[in-house]
Amino acid sequence: MVDAFCATWKLVESENFDEYMKALGVGFATRQVGNVTKPTVIISQEGDKVMIRTQSTFKNTEISFTLGEEFDETTADDRNCKSTVTLDGDKLVHVQKWDGKETKFVREIKDESEGIMGDVVCSQFVLKTYLKSINGAVKRW
């Protein structure tokens, strides 16, 4: 059930984000901007369609998809990916594939006080992000 994730979230903290961007080939200037950006992530659902909007002073992105179905995604750093989002138990798993590479985002609601914790698994490290709900209590299964 995606509805547990449906809320407006604000990035509080991230670990290894610069290393993640380096691994993607993001240039120095863009990494500097990315390292200080605290995006707002809005997750919503309408019928079978799930939308994830990411808003920041740097760039806004939006994806719309059906769970389990591959879709085309253009990322904030302009990568063109084939992506799939699934539910694995209580985790929202987002896989991006491009140029023979793969990144996996795993979003999980820990509890009402912690908000969403996300791990992005790349070949050399794990990027960790911590987001808090800005529009009320976190819904749980």
- Please report, for the chain, the start and end positions of each structural domain, with discontinuous segments joined by +: 2-133
| Residue 129 neighbours by CB distance under 10 Å | 22
Q: Could you give the 3-state DSSP secondary structure of residue 138?
A: coil
What is d(CA 140, CA 138) in angstroms, rounded to the nearest whole number? 6
Instruction: From first to last of the 141 residues of the chain, give the pLDDT tens digit.
Output: 788 888 888 888 888 888 888 888 889 998 999 899 989 999 999 999 999 999 998 889 999 999 999 999 999 888 999 999 999 988 899 999 999 888 888 888 876 555 555 666 665 556 677 777 776 544 332
| CA-to-CA separations, 14 to 26, 38, 116, in angstroms, rounded | 17, 9, 12
- How would you class 31 by CB atoms within 10 Å of its CB: exposed for 0-12, middle for 13-18, buried for 19 or more? middle
Q: What is the pTM of this model?
A: 0.82
CATH number of 2-133: 2.40.128.20
